[in-house]
Amino acid sequence: MSNPLITIERFLLSQQPENAKGDLTTLFYDIALAAKMIATQTRRSALLDILGYEGTTNVQGERQRKLDVYADDVMFKLNDHTGRLCAMVSEERDDWIPIPEVYSKGHYILVYDPLDGSSNIDTNVTIGTIFGVFHTLDIDQRGRIEDCLRPGRELVAAGYIIYGTSTMFVYSAGQGVHGFTLDPEIGEFLLTHENMRFPEKPAYYSFNFGAALLWEKGMQKYAEWLQSAPEPRLSQRYIGSLVADFHRNLLYGGIYGYPGEVKYPNGKIRLLYEAGPLAFLAEHAGGYGSNGVTSLLDIKPDSLHQRTPVFIGTRSLVEKVEEFLGK
Ligand code: AFP
């Protein structure tokens, strides 16, 4: 018998606890809608002549591209008025985002990187959106900075959207990691990857070896180990687009790493809305995310856009980094 066709809506409803109000379910549904809008624009971007720099600089000091701005706008506008959120944090905005007073507020905080890997856009390389969801600390308040500065361990859900040869929505609300593929003809996400787990035997490692001479000794030794010790031999694959590298390693097994180095002494990846949500997904798929010393999920950010070294993927490979960096 062939597999049943299950839409994202049907799957989300089937996962919803009986007494739940459905706020989280509808939040996911709106993020899936954002995914469709961003995917459509991404596919048409060259045609619409919107590629190129926007001319503004975001909080990371990186030049924003028009698609980043569009993706940020879509995420914000689909979520500010729904009454489900009490705050948001976006990679593209300096400060946390309160819900406008004219709208009612809800219990959740949404943190997101609307378009990660945007330096790859002009070359048609896969990019992604990352998001995480926290519950408010005080249900009677409208949302405060302390609701946003939270360790990944307190996430109630996380996910990413990957804009590749197909568009996929991957999420976990703590009961497995599930992936849906967009059928562009009918505009629906269909369940294609139920209960994703890192395979036992990894296949890949993903580091920017262009920076290897700038890494600390322990990191260089780990790289040597990766290149010589594992059986069967691992292959190197590095896209330089976090979601794409993470997604491939989730499907085939492997590790993505961005250590500290001279240009980025604390690593390049952001803790709150990139490393934390992906570490949450990794743990729910049998993997692990670390800063080289401790779980990424146990680090409470001091600031919204804090960076961290990241090692994430197959548990045994990530634990090995901790061993080498601890030596
Ligand atoms: P951009 O959004 O500027 O393309 O950065 C992407 C990213 O944060 C992450 O997705 C990549 O893994 C990493 O940077 C690549 O950085 P390097 O080019 O230094 O390897």
C-alpha 268 – ligand 1 centre gap (Å): 7
Look at ligand 1, atom 6, and give the residue with the nearest C-alpha.
117
- Probe ligand 1: pick from 67, 112, 116, 161, max atoms within 8 Å of CB? 116
Q: What is the pTM of this model?
A: 0.94
Sign of the Cα pseudo-torsion (247, 39, 61, 88, in order): negative
Domain 8-193 has CATH 3.30.540.10: yes
Range list for CATH 3.40.190.80 in the chain: 204-325
Instruction: Give CATH 3.30.540.10 domain extents, the chain.
Output: 8-193
Is the CATH number of domain 204-325 3.10.450.50? no
Which tens digit of pLDDT belongs to each residue from 179-218? Answer: 999 999 999 999 999 999 999 999 999 999 999 999 999 9
Q: Ligand 1: which of 241, 245, 246 to mutate, judged by most atoms within 8 Å of the beta carbon?
A: 241
The span from the CA of 136 to the CA of 55, in Å, is: 35
Ligand 1: centre distance to CA 258 (Å) = 9
pLDDT tens sequence across 54-95: 556 666 655 556 888 999 999 999 998 999 999 999 999 999
Q: What is the number of the ligand 1 atom nearest to the C-alpha of 241?
A: 10
List the residue whose alpha carbon is closest to atom 4 of ligand 1.
117
Residue closest to 132 by CA, chosen among 109, 116, 165:
109
